[in-house]
Amino acid sequence: MNELPNNPEKPNVGGQVVPPESYVTPLPPGPPPSGTGLGGLLQKPQNVAILALAVLLALQTWSTHARFNRLREDVARTLQKDNASNAETAQTVREVQEAAKELQVKVGVLENRQTEAQSQQAALEQMYQDISKNRDEWALSEIEQVLSTASQQLQLAGNVQGALIALQNADRSLSRSDKPQFITIRRAIARDIEKLKALPAVDQPGMALRIDNVISQIDDLPLLSDEKPAEPIAPTRVNASGAKGAAKAAPAAERTLGQRVTDTWRDWSHEMWDDMRQLIRVRTVDNPDALMLSPTESYFVRENLKLRLLNARLALLSRNEGTFRDDLSTAQQMLVKYFDTKARSTQAAQALLRQVQANNVTIDVPDLSESLNAVRNYKSKS
């Protein structure tokens, strides 16, 4: 190619300025140069290589883009799974935190209980040490308390069996220690036991049962006002020999007219006498008012008798002999005054009450002063 002048704006042609179009050399006409177009590009090896490289680059780009899309989908799926796993993990963490809080509360409660148990254990150990140091004194104090209570029960309520059981338990407690210092106390307890065993027995349960039997029979006992007329007695006939019995009619041919008239008169007189016996009855009653009791008054008589017997039962259990005997005497008087004493049930009730009245309610009981003094003297010396 022709080189252009360095300063095309200042050509030096005859001292005049020449435009650029005037000094460009035109190309000669002819065919186009070789190597132009797709054929010309393919004729050069470097162009083929560039084209192949461009194709490979395009294929690589497409493959990379496809792999990138697949990778993005895999990453999206992985992220979705991770999000679900994270949600589950968060839920599990919350549950674990709540369980941990509950465990902390339970641990706090257990620690408090352990502290209380330790304090109780320390108190028990201290108590055990105190008891082990003064075991004999403690045992004697307990025996003294038991004997004192038994003595009060014996004097106030006459509870012989309770006092006897208390003495036997005290002797058994002293026998476990097996110490010779307690022999004096055991001797005093043995003497008191013999005194209580020598006392006469009072059958309180048996007496109470008899009173209960009488109370259960009161509603069935006949009152004087409840008595009804007796039923008519079957007429009896007297035969020719004078003996009473069921009359058998003799054949009419064997009896004479006089015998028939006599038998008829005798039968009629006996029937009339039986009727008169039903109309008129003679009884001896000390209290006429008992025959005129109304149904309401009869009910209250029975209930008052029950109350008297119940009071007697309470007095028996409390060893109040005065009240016991007064109530039984009043009950006997009521039976005689208002009830039919000829009836077997009334007589049985009176017999039961007499059996109860024959027993002693109270007895002279000894005190347990000998055993108590022995225990107190030993405590004062030790």
pLDDT score, position 262: 84
Distance (Å, rounded) from C-alpha 64 to C-alpha 156? 115
Find out whether 8 and 20 touch, Cβ atoms under 8 Å.
Answer: yes
pLDDT, position 11: 47
Helix (H) or strand (E) holding 245: strand 244-245
- pLDDT value of residue 290: 61
Q: Please, are residues 266 and 239 in contact by the beta-carbon 8 Å criterion? A: no
- pLDDT of the residue at 330: 92
Per-residue pLDDT of the chain (382 residues; tens, 9 = 90+): 444 444 444 444 444 544 544 444 454 555 555 445 555 555 667 777 888 888 888 888 898 888 888 888 888 888 888 888 888 888 889 899 988 888 889 888 888 888 888 888 888 888 776 665 567 677 777 888 888 888 877 777 667 777 888 888 888 888 877 677 778 888 888 888 888 887 776 677 888 898 999 999 998 888 877 655 444 445 444 444 444 444 444 454 566 877 888 888 888 888 877 766 666 555 555 565 666 677 788 888 889 999 999 999 888 877 788 888 899 999 999 888 888 888 899 899 999 999 888 877 776 677 777 888 888 887 777 6
Domain 135-200+365-381, CATH number (from 1.20.120, 1.20.1050, 3.20.20, 1.10.287)? 1.20.120
The dihedral over CA atoms of 323, 328, 331, 335, expressed in degrees to the nearest 10, equals -160
Distance CA 352, CA 346 (A): 10
Per-residue tokens: 90: 């968060």
Q: Where are the domains of the chain?
A: 43-132, 135-200+365-381, 203-223+291-362
C-alpha distances out from residue 192 to 156, 233, 306, 372, Å: 17, 69, 40, 10
